[in-house]
Amino acid sequence: MIVTQEAPPVRSPRGGRPRDPSRDGVIRAAILRLLAEVGYGALTMDAVAAEAGVGKATIYRRWRTKQDLVADTITELNATTVTPADTGSLQTDLREVLYSIVDVINGPMGAATRALLSTVTHHPALGEAFGDGPVGVWRRAFGQVFARAEARGELRPGLAGTVVAEALMAPLVQRWLMTGHLVTRDYADEVLGDVALPLLRANWGPSA
Amino acid sequence: MIVTQEAPPVRSPRGGRPRDPSRDGVIRAAILRLLAEVGYGALTMDAVAAEAGVGKATIYRRWRTKQDLVADTITELNATTVTPADTGSLQTDLREVLYSIVDVINGPMGAATRALLSTVTHHPALGEAFGDGPVGVWRRAFGQVFARAEARGELRPGLAGTVVAEALMAPLVQRWLMTGHLVTRDYADEVLGDVALPLLRANWGPSA
């Protein structure tokens, strides 16, 4: 699984030192941790600076407000491109994507996403940046898996964008957000074997 | 669709007038509206009293703290019993349950649930009350539909509690919580026709 992010443009708006892109990653990680810990309402620019171990001026030079900073972080995350390992089989490719979703759900990004869910409806700028949230990233990863399987003749074309494509990951999302139960790789295996593969075989197999 | 709630015990802890159960419904509705509007963090006991149009003493007589009040409201909601209309067919019974989920998602309870999602992880008492959230109520409604279909011979027994049972509603939950798109009855029809029925036919039909 290869994860890449679009390189942010290096700006130096006040003619000072050029921005250090590696520092952006540190700041974004600090924002995710704070969102998970205290939520958007209690997050402050000063706390982000302290958590990231950078000067306040570094934060304020790039973002005028807390909303700018969080919206920018969400936008960067949603631009993530995940390239699922090409295992040569639909079943194992799907398993890899489902496992990577499990990892994201259980990591800092999962906790930060949950913290944002109650907030995005009240802040249009955040809602716009949030868009489909991590689901958009996962949808694109599935899209690559579908395209390979179509090329191998394992799937009929046209699956991407359908409700069936959405349904492949939906049980993970539901369990994560709505229930108190852990989302594990074992659960992902159940979703793969009992939901995803039967659904695809039913209507999306080459002979369907 | 018949919705019933367990009648709360009528207590009169200080020997005063017995509690008016109809007032409880008014207070709970006020709590849901406020959760949706301002979230848990900014909700106050005084605002609940004002929104419900009752005296503060009425609120404080029953609940000592905001956390008690919200946890109690969540517990009551989760005790709701939904009795889906018995249409005599699995397909139309399922449609009725999916439509009722759409209605809940788009109503005050949906907005309040979203507002709670970021909060329950930080307040163990709320998390415990939340449990599986509305998913628990919906799961029981599906359970009744499955039992009838099993009795008619439309389904093999044993579906309740499986990941397939969870998958029938999961696309609605995912679309509601993670994307900016509306959850409509048309979308529920797509979920029914393209996900739920194919999944059940694949492994849960009488001849499977």
ipTM associated with this complex: 0.89
| A66 and A90 share one domain | no
pLDDT tens digits, one per residue of A60-116: 999 999 999 999 999 988 988 888 999 999 999 999 999 999 999 999 999 999 999
Distance of alpha carbon B78 from alpha carbon A86, whole angstroms: 44
Q: How many domains does chain B have?
A: 2
Q: Which of B114, B121, B132 sits opposite A179 (nearest CB)?
A: B132
Strand, coil or helix: B115: helix
| B149 and B191 share one domain | yes
pLDDT tens digits, one per residue of B158-188: 999 999 999 999 999 999 999 989 999 999 9
Q: What is the mean pLDDT of chain A?
A: 90
Distance of alpha carbon B27 from alpha carbon B118, whole angstroms: 23
| A119 and A151 share one domain | yes
| A102 and A166 share one domain | yes
Distance of alpha carbon B168 from alpha carbon B191, whole angstroms: 8
| A156 and A70 share one domain | no
Rounded average pLDDT over B67-92: 93
- Counting residues of chain A whose pLDDT is more than 70, the rounded percentage is 89
| B192 and B160 share one domain | yes
pLDDT value for A6? 53
Residue A208 forms part of a structural domain: no
Q: Which of B118, B162, B166 sits opposite A118 (nearest CB)?
A: B118
Nearest to A85 by CA among A139, A148, A17, A132: A148
Rounded average pLDDT over B33-57: 94
| Residues with Cβ within 8 Å of residue A20, at least 6 apart in sequence | none
| B71 and B152 share one domain | no
Q: Which two tokens stand for residue A130?
A: 């949030």
| A47 and A145 share one domain | no
User: Chain A residues within 8 A (CB-CB) of chain B?
Assistant: 39, 41-42, 111, 114-119, 121-122, 127, 130-135, 162-164, 166-167, 169-171, 173-175, 177-181, 187, 190-191, 194-195, 198-199, 201-203
Task: Please report, for the domain that includes residue B58, its CATH number.
Answer: 1.10.357.10
Domain extent for A121 = 83-203
| A96 and A189 share one domain | yes
Do the Cβ atoms of B199 and A199 come within 8 Å?
yes
Query: Is the confidence at residue B18, as pLDDT, over 70?
Result: no
Higher pLDDT among residues A180 and A107, named by residue: A107
Confidence of residue A182 (pLDDT cuts 50, 70, 90): very high
pLDDT value for B183? 98
Alpha carbon B36 to chain centroid, angstroms = 15
Do the Cβ atoms of B194 and A164 come within 8 Å?
yes
Rounded average pLDDT over A130-142: 94
Distance of alpha carbon A190 from alpha carbon A203, whole angstroms: 20
Task: For residue A191, list chain B residues with Cβ-Cβ distance below 8 A.
Answer: 163, 167
Do the Cβ atoms of A163 and B201 come within 8 Å?
no
Confidence of residue B136 (pLDDT cuts 50, 70, 90): very high
Task: For residue B42, list chain A residues with Cβ-Cβ distance below 8 A.
Answer: 41
pLDDT value for B3? 66
Strand, coil or helix: B97: helix
| B133 and B115 share one domain | yes
Q: Which of A42, A170, A181 sits opposite B170 (nearest CB)?
A: A170
Inter-residue contact B136 to A167 (CB < 8 Å): no
pLDDT value for B12? 46
Do the Cβ atoms of A178 and B115 come within 8 Å?
no
Nearest to B106 by CA among B36, B2, B5, B40: B36
| B108 and B197 share one domain | yes
| A180 and A104 share one domain | yes
Nearest to A190 by CA among A107, A99, A83: A99
Residue B184 forms part of a structural domain: yes
Q: Which of B127, B131, B174 sits opposite A170 (nearest CB)?
A: B174
